[in-house]
Protein backbone atom coordinates (compact mmCIF):
# COMPACT_ATOMS: atom_id res chain seq x y z
CA UNK A 1 0.00 0.00 0.00
CA UNK A 2 1.25 3.46 -0.91
CA UNK A 3 0.56 6.86 0.60
CA UNK A 4 -0.53 9.67 -1.69
CA UNK A 5 3.01 11.06 -1.67
CA UNK A 6 4.49 7.69 -2.56
CA UNK A 7 1.88 7.29 -5.30
CA UNK A 8 2.83 10.59 -6.95
CA UNK A 9 6.53 9.82 -6.66
CA UNK A 10 6.08 6.44 -8.32
CA UNK A 11 4.01 7.83 -11.20
CA UNK A 12 6.11 10.98 -11.66
CA UNK A 13 5.44 13.21 -14.69
CA UNK A 14 4.61 16.22 -12.54
CA UNK A 15 1.70 14.56 -10.72
CA UNK A 16 1.07 16.17 -7.32
CA UNK A 17 -1.08 15.12 -4.34
CA UNK A 18 -3.37 18.04 -5.09
CA UNK A 19 -3.97 16.71 -8.62
CA UNK A 20 -4.70 13.24 -7.23
CA UNK A 21 -7.27 14.67 -4.81
CA UNK A 22 -8.89 16.55 -7.71
CA UNK A 23 -9.10 13.33 -9.73
CA UNK A 24 -10.92 11.76 -6.76
CA UNK A 25 -13.41 14.63 -6.67
CA UNK A 26 -14.33 14.32 -10.36
CA UNK A 27 -14.47 10.52 -10.24
CA UNK A 28 -11.46 9.96 -12.46
CA UNK A 29 -9.72 8.00 -9.68
CA UNK A 30 -11.74 5.78 -7.34
CA UNK A 31 -11.81 6.72 -3.68
CA UNK A 32 -8.93 4.93 -1.91
CA UNK A 33 -9.06 2.87 1.21
CA UNK A 34 -8.08 4.63 4.44
CA UNK A 35 -5.58 3.70 7.14
CA UNK A 36 -6.59 3.66 10.84
CA UNK A 37 -5.08 7.17 10.95
CA UNK A 38 -7.30 8.20 7.99
CA UNK A 39 -4.44 8.40 5.46
CA UNK A 40 -5.24 7.55 1.84
CA UNK A 41 -3.71 4.23 0.78
CA UNK A 42 -3.20 3.16 -2.83
CA UNK A 43 -2.64 -0.17 -4.59
CA UNK A 44 -0.81 -1.16 -7.77
CA UNK A 45 -4.15 -0.90 -9.60
CA UNK A 46 -4.34 2.78 -8.59
CA UNK A 47 -0.79 3.30 -9.88
CA UNK A 48 -1.68 1.74 -13.24
CA UNK A 49 -4.86 3.79 -13.60
CA UNK A 50 -3.04 7.02 -12.76
CA UNK A 51 -0.30 6.15 -15.26
CA UNK A 52 -2.99 5.66 -17.93
CA UNK A 53 -4.52 9.02 -17.01
CA UNK A 54 -1.15 10.73 -17.32
CA UNK A 55 -0.43 9.07 -20.68
CA UNK A 56 -3.82 10.06 -22.13
CA UNK A 57 -3.51 13.59 -20.76
CA UNK A 58 -0.12 13.96 -22.43
CA UNK A 59 -1.77 12.99 -25.71
CA UNK A 60 -4.10 15.99 -25.34
CA UNK A 61 -7.32 14.32 -24.18
CA UNK A 62 -9.56 16.17 -21.75
CA UNK A 63 -10.19 14.71 -18.29
CA UNK A 64 -13.88 14.09 -18.98
CA UNK A 65 -13.00 12.08 -22.08
CA UNK A 66 -10.26 10.18 -20.25
CA UNK A 67 -12.81 9.08 -17.65
CA UNK A 68 -15.08 7.78 -20.39
CA UNK A 69 -12.22 5.98 -22.13
CA UNK A 70 -11.25 4.20 -18.92
CA UNK A 71 -14.78 3.39 -17.83
CA UNK A 72 -16.62 2.57 -21.08
CA UNK A 73 -16.15 0.44 -24.18
CA UNK A 74 -13.64 1.86 -26.69
CA UNK A 75 -16.20 1.96 -29.51
CA UNK A 76 -18.74 4.07 -27.60
CA UNK A 77 -20.48 6.26 -30.18
CA UNK A 78 -21.07 8.97 -27.57
CA UNK A 79 -17.35 9.13 -26.80
CA UNK A 80 -16.40 9.26 -30.47
CA UNK A 81 -18.85 12.10 -31.02
CA UNK A 82 -17.41 14.01 -28.07
CA UNK A 83 -13.86 13.47 -29.31
CA UNK A 84 -14.90 14.75 -32.72
CA UNK A 85 -16.34 17.86 -31.07
CA UNK A 86 -13.10 18.33 -29.13
CA UNK A 87 -11.13 17.99 -32.35
CA UNK A 88 -13.20 20.69 -34.03
CA UNK A 89 -12.64 22.97 -31.02
CA UNK A 90 -8.89 22.35 -31.11
CA UNK A 91 -8.88 22.86 -34.88
CA UNK A 92 -10.50 26.27 -34.48
CA UNK A 93 -7.84 27.16 -31.90
CA UNK A 94 -5.14 26.03 -34.31
CA UNK A 95 -6.63 28.21 -37.04
CA UNK A 96 -6.51 31.23 -34.74
CA UNK A 97 -2.92 30.43 -33.76
CA UNK A 98 -2.07 29.95 -37.43
CA UNK A 99 -3.50 33.39 -38.19
CA UNK A 100 -1.38 34.86 -35.40
CA UNK A 101 1.70 33.03 -36.68
CA UNK A 102 1.01 34.28 -40.22
CA UNK A 103 0.82 37.85 -38.97
CA UNK A 104 4.08 37.45 -37.06
CA UNK A 105 5.75 35.86 -40.07
CA UNK A 106 4.65 38.83 -42.13
CA UNK A 107 6.39 41.15 -39.68
CA UNK A 108 9.47 39.17 -38.69
CA UNK A 109 10.12 37.69 -42.11
CA UNK A 110 10.89 41.07 -43.69
CA UNK A 111 14.36 41.32 -45.21
CA UNK A 112 16.60 44.34 -44.73
CA UNK A 113 15.32 46.51 -47.63
CA UNK A 114 11.78 46.26 -46.20
CA UNK A 115 12.71 47.22 -42.66
CA UNK A 116 12.63 50.99 -43.25
CA UNK A 117 9.09 50.65 -44.60
CA UNK A 118 8.27 48.46 -41.59
CA UNK A 119 9.37 51.20 -39.17
CA UNK A 120 7.43 53.80 -41.13
CA UNK A 121 4.29 51.67 -41.08
CA UNK A 122 4.43 51.26 -37.31
CA UNK A 123 4.98 54.99 -36.86
CA UNK A 124 1.94 55.85 -39.00
CA UNK A 125 -0.23 53.28 -37.26
CA UNK A 126 0.48 54.94 -33.91
CA UNK A 127 -1.01 58.18 -35.25
CA UNK A 128 -4.28 56.63 -36.41
CA UNK A 129 -7.50 57.47 -34.64
CA UNK A 130 -7.92 53.97 -33.30
CA UNK A 131 -11.38 54.51 -31.86
CA UNK A 132 -12.70 55.47 -35.32
CA UNK A 133 -11.11 52.54 -37.10
CA UNK A 134 -12.36 49.01 -37.37
CA UNK A 135 -10.02 46.07 -36.89
CA UNK A 136 -10.33 45.28 -40.59
CA UNK A 137 -9.30 48.76 -41.70
CA UNK A 138 -6.36 48.73 -39.27
CA UNK A 139 -5.25 45.41 -40.71
CA UNK A 140 -5.54 46.70 -44.28
CA UNK A 141 -3.64 49.86 -43.40
CA UNK A 142 -0.85 47.88 -41.76
CA UNK A 143 -0.30 45.49 -44.64
CA UNK A 144 -0.55 48.21 -47.27
CA UNK A 145 2.35 50.01 -45.60
CA UNK A 146 4.38 46.87 -45.00
CA UNK A 147 3.88 45.57 -48.53
CA UNK A 148 4.89 48.85 -50.16
CA UNK A 149 8.50 47.80 -50.72
CA UNK A 150 8.09 44.20 -51.85
CA UNK A 151 8.14 45.09 -55.55
CA UNK A 152 11.52 46.84 -55.29
CA UNK A 153 13.68 43.73 -54.83
CA UNK A 154 13.58 39.92 -54.80
CA UNK A 155 12.81 38.25 -51.50
CA UNK A 156 15.74 37.17 -49.34
CA UNK A 157 14.56 33.75 -48.14
CA UNK A 158 17.62 32.98 -46.05
CA UNK A 159 17.33 36.21 -44.10
CA UNK A 160 13.69 35.45 -43.33
CA UNK A 161 14.46 31.87 -42.29
CA UNK A 162 17.15 33.06 -39.87
CA UNK A 163 14.48 34.98 -37.97
CA UNK A 164 11.67 32.43 -38.18
CA UNK A 165 13.23 28.99 -37.81
CA UNK A 166 13.67 27.49 -34.33
CA UNK A 167 17.16 26.98 -32.96
CA UNK A 168 18.86 24.38 -35.19
CA UNK A 169 22.39 24.94 -33.90
CA UNK A 170 22.57 21.38 -32.56
CA UNK A 171 21.92 19.91 -35.99
CA UNK A 172 24.59 19.31 -38.67
CA UNK A 173 24.93 21.91 -41.43
CA UNK A 174 23.62 19.51 -44.09
CA UNK A 175 20.60 18.67 -41.95
CA UNK A 176 19.84 22.37 -41.44
CA UNK A 177 19.99 22.82 -45.21
CA UNK A 178 17.50 19.98 -45.71
CA UNK A 179 15.11 21.33 -43.08
CA UNK A 180 15.30 24.85 -44.52
CA UNK A 181 14.43 23.65 -48.01
CA UNK A 182 11.58 21.51 -46.69
CA UNK A 183 10.14 24.60 -44.98
CA UNK A 184 10.45 26.60 -48.19
CA UNK A 185 8.82 23.77 -50.15
CA UNK A 186 5.69 23.66 -47.99
CA UNK A 187 5.64 27.25 -46.69
CA UNK A 188 5.12 26.13 -43.09
CA UNK A 189 7.90 26.99 -40.64
CA UNK A 190 6.48 24.62 -38.03
CA UNK A 191 7.61 21.66 -40.18
CA UNK A 192 11.13 22.26 -38.85
CA UNK A 193 10.04 21.06 -35.41
CA UNK A 194 8.54 17.85 -36.85
CA UNK A 195 11.30 16.81 -39.28
CA UNK A 196 13.23 13.75 -38.13
CA UNK A 197 16.53 12.34 -39.43
CA UNK A 198 18.17 9.27 -37.93
CA UNK A 199 21.71 9.94 -36.65
CA UNK A 200 23.17 7.93 -39.54
CA UNK A 201 20.87 9.25 -42.31
CA UNK A 202 23.26 11.75 -43.91
CA UNK A 203 26.26 9.40 -43.80
CA UNK A 204 24.21 6.54 -45.27
CA UNK A 205 22.77 8.75 -48.00
CA UNK A 206 26.17 10.05 -49.09
CA UNK A 207 27.68 6.56 -49.18
CA UNK A 208 24.77 5.13 -51.18
CA UNK A 209 24.63 8.04 -53.63
CA UNK A 210 28.40 7.91 -54.12
CA UNK A 211 28.10 4.20 -54.93
CA UNK A 212 25.48 4.91 -57.62
CA UNK A 213 22.57 3.19 -55.90
CA UNK A 214 19.08 2.95 -57.32
CA UNK A 215 16.52 5.51 -56.18
CA UNK A 216 13.00 4.10 -56.03
CA UNK A 217 9.86 6.16 -55.43
CA UNK A 218 6.37 4.93 -54.76
CA UNK A 219 4.70 6.68 -57.73
CA UNK A 220 5.85 8.24 -61.04
CA UNK A 221 5.02 11.82 -60.04
CA UNK A 222 7.69 11.70 -57.31
CA UNK A 223 10.31 10.58 -59.85
CA UNK A 224 9.56 13.59 -62.05
CA UNK A 225 10.30 15.89 -59.08
CA UNK A 226 13.73 14.37 -58.39
CA UNK A 227 16.86 16.19 -59.54
CA UNK A 228 17.67 13.90 -62.44
CA UNK A 229 20.72 15.92 -63.51
CA UNK A 230 22.55 15.59 -60.19
CA UNK A 231 21.47 11.99 -59.65
CA UNK A 232 22.60 10.99 -63.15
CA UNK A 233 25.94 12.69 -62.50
CA UNK A 234 26.27 10.50 -59.40
CA UNK A 235 25.43 7.40 -61.44
CA UNK A 236 22.08 6.84 -59.69
CA UNK A 237 19.12 5.55 -61.69
CA UNK A 238 15.60 6.59 -60.64
CA UNK A 239 12.40 4.70 -61.24
CA UNK A 240 9.01 4.16 -59.64
CA UNK A 241 7.75 1.09 -57.80
CA UNK A 242 4.27 1.50 -59.29
CA UNK A 243 5.19 2.55 -62.81
CA UNK A 244 1.61 3.22 -63.89
CA UNK A 245 1.56 6.77 -65.38
CA UNK A 246 -2.18 7.02 -64.73
CA UNK A 247 -1.74 7.16 -60.95
CA UNK A 248 -2.57 10.78 -60.13
CA UNK A 249 -3.62 10.75 -56.48
CA UNK A 250 -2.76 9.19 -53.15
CA UNK A 251 -6.09 7.33 -53.23
CA UNK A 252 -5.22 5.68 -56.55
CA UNK A 253 -1.72 4.82 -55.35
CA UNK A 254 -3.02 3.28 -52.13
CA UNK A 255 -5.72 1.24 -53.87
CA UNK A 256 -3.45 -0.05 -56.63
CA UNK A 257 -0.75 -1.12 -54.21
CA UNK A 258 -3.17 -3.29 -52.21
CA UNK A 259 -5.15 -4.63 -55.13
CA UNK A 260 -2.14 -5.94 -57.04
CA UNK A 261 0.24 -8.29 -55.19
CA UNK A 262 2.74 -7.70 -57.97
CA UNK A 263 3.69 -4.34 -56.46
CA UNK A 264 4.26 -5.83 -53.03
CA UNK A 265 6.47 -8.60 -54.40
CA UNK A 266 8.36 -6.08 -56.52
CA UNK A 267 8.95 -3.96 -53.42
CA UNK A 268 10.46 -6.87 -51.50
CA UNK A 269 12.70 -7.77 -54.47
CA UNK A 270 14.11 -4.23 -54.66
CA UNK A 271 14.36 -3.49 -50.95
CA UNK A 272 18.02 -4.28 -50.41
CA UNK A 273 20.58 -1.48 -50.72
CA UNK A 274 18.43 1.09 -52.49
CA UNK A 275 17.20 4.54 -51.47
CA UNK A 276 13.41 4.65 -51.15
CA UNK A 277 11.52 7.92 -51.57
CA UNK A 278 7.88 7.57 -50.47
CA UNK A 279 5.73 10.65 -50.96
CA UNK A 280 2.22 9.32 -51.51
CA UNK A 281 1.08 5.90 -50.33
CA UNK A 282 1.40 5.11 -46.59
CA UNK A 283 0.90 1.43 -47.38
CA UNK A 284 4.12 1.41 -49.38
CA UNK A 285 6.04 2.73 -46.36
CA UNK A 286 4.32 0.19 -44.10
CA UNK A 287 5.33 -2.62 -46.48
CA UNK A 288 8.92 -1.35 -46.50
CA UNK A 289 8.93 -1.48 -42.69
CA UNK A 290 7.45 -4.96 -42.74
CA UNK A 291 10.09 -6.12 -45.22
CA UNK A 292 12.88 -4.76 -43.02
CA UNK A 293 11.38 -6.41 -39.92
CA UNK A 294 11.05 -9.82 -41.63
CA UNK A 295 14.54 -9.73 -43.12
CA UNK A 296 13.47 -9.32 -46.75
CA UNK A 297 16.08 -6.60 -47.20
CA UNK A 298 17.63 -3.49 -45.76
CA UNK A 299 17.42 -0.22 -47.73
CA UNK A 300 20.35 2.18 -47.76
CA UNK A 301 17.96 4.98 -46.75
CA UNK A 302 14.21 5.45 -46.44
CA UNK A 303 12.76 8.91 -47.06
CA UNK A 304 9.19 8.59 -45.79
CA UNK A 305 6.72 11.44 -46.34
CA UNK A 306 3.47 9.62 -47.22
CA UNK A 307 0.16 11.47 -47.17
CA UNK A 308 -2.59 10.68 -44.67
CA UNK A 309 -3.99 11.27 -41.20
CA UNK A 310 -3.91 7.82 -39.58
CA UNK A 311 -1.95 5.31 -41.66
CA UNK A 312 0.77 7.81 -42.64
CA UNK A 313 1.67 8.88 -39.06
CA UNK A 314 1.57 5.21 -38.03
CA UNK A 315 3.92 4.26 -40.87
CA UNK A 316 6.35 7.06 -39.91
CA UNK A 317 6.37 5.99 -36.26
CA UNK A 318 7.05 2.41 -37.33
CA UNK A 319 9.92 3.58 -39.55
CA UNK A 320 11.48 5.60 -36.73
CA UNK A 321 11.41 2.51 -34.53
CA UNK A 322 13.63 0.53 -36.93
CA UNK A 323 17.42 0.46 -37.03
CA UNK A 324 17.56 1.78 -40.59
CA UNK A 325 18.64 5.24 -41.83
CA UNK A 326 15.61 7.45 -42.42
CA UNK A 327 14.34 10.94 -43.14
CA UNK A 328 10.72 11.54 -42.20
CA UNK A 329 8.37 13.75 -40.23
CA UNK A 330 6.10 13.36 -37.29
CA UNK A 331 2.41 14.17 -37.58
CA UNK A 332 0.60 14.45 -40.94
CA UNK A 333 3.26 16.46 -42.80
CA UNK A 334 3.98 14.76 -46.10
CA UNK A 335 3.77 14.78 -49.88
CA UNK A 336 5.80 13.92 -52.93
CA UNK A 337 7.41 17.35 -53.11
CA UNK A 338 8.76 17.11 -49.55
CA UNK A 339 10.12 13.61 -50.16
CA UNK A 340 11.83 14.71 -53.37
CA UNK A 341 13.26 17.87 -51.81
CA UNK A 342 14.88 15.82 -49.03
CA UNK A 343 16.68 13.57 -51.52
CA UNK A 344 17.55 16.44 -53.86
CA UNK A 345 19.27 18.35 -51.06
CA UNK A 346 21.20 15.24 -49.99
CA UNK A 347 22.43 14.83 -53.56
CA UNK A 348 23.23 18.55 -53.88
CA UNK A 349 25.20 18.62 -50.63
CA UNK A 350 27.25 15.62 -51.75
CA UNK A 351 28.25 17.33 -54.98
CA UNK A 352 28.71 20.79 -53.49
CA UNK A 353 30.54 19.66 -50.33
CA UNK A 354 31.92 16.18 -50.96
CA UNK A 355 34.38 16.43 -48.07
CA UNK A 356 32.00 17.86 -45.46
CA UNK A 357 31.95 15.77 -42.27
CA UNK A 358 29.83 17.99 -40.02
CA UNK A 359 27.27 15.21 -39.70
CA UNK A 360 29.84 12.84 -38.23
CA UNK A 361 30.67 15.25 -35.41
CA UNK A 362 26.99 15.76 -34.55
CA UNK A 363 26.37 12.01 -34.75
CA UNK A 364 29.17 11.39 -32.24
CA UNK A 365 27.73 14.03 -29.92
CA UNK A 366 24.29 12.39 -30.06
CA UNK A 367 25.69 8.94 -29.36
CA UNK A 368 27.66 10.28 -26.37
CA UNK A 369 24.36 11.18 -24.70
Domains of the chain from N-terminus onward: 4-71 (1.10.1660.10), 79-153 (no CATH), 165-368 (3.40.50.10230)
Q: Please, which residues bridge with residue 304 across strands?
A: 278, 328
% helix / strand / coil in the chain, to the nearest 5? 60, 5, 30
| Angstrom distances, CA of residue 282 to CA of 76, 92, 301, 369 | 28, 27, 17, 32
**For residue 259, is pLDDT > 60?**
yes
Q: Which of 108-112, 143-147, 242-246 has the highest mean pLDDT?
A: 242-246
Rounded distance between C-alpha atoms, residue 57 and residue 69, angstroms: 12
**For residue 174, is pLDDT > 80?**
yes
* Contact call for residues 358 and 241 (beta carbons, < 8 A): no
What pTM value is reported for the model? 0.77
Query: pLDDT tens digits for 46-61?
Result: 999 999 899 888 888 8
Mean pLDDT across the stretch 122-127? 65
**For residue 323, is pLDDT > 90?**
yes
Amino acid sequence: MLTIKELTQKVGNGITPRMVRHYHQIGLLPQPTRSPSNYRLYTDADVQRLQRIVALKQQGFQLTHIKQMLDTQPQSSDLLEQLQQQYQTVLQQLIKWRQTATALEGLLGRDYPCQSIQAEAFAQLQLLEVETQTAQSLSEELWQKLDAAVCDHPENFQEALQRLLPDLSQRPEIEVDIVSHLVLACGDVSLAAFTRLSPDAIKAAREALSAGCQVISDVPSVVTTLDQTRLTHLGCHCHSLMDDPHIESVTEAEQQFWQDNHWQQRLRDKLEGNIWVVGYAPSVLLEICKGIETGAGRPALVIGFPIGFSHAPAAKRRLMGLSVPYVTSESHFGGGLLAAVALNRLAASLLEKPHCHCYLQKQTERESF
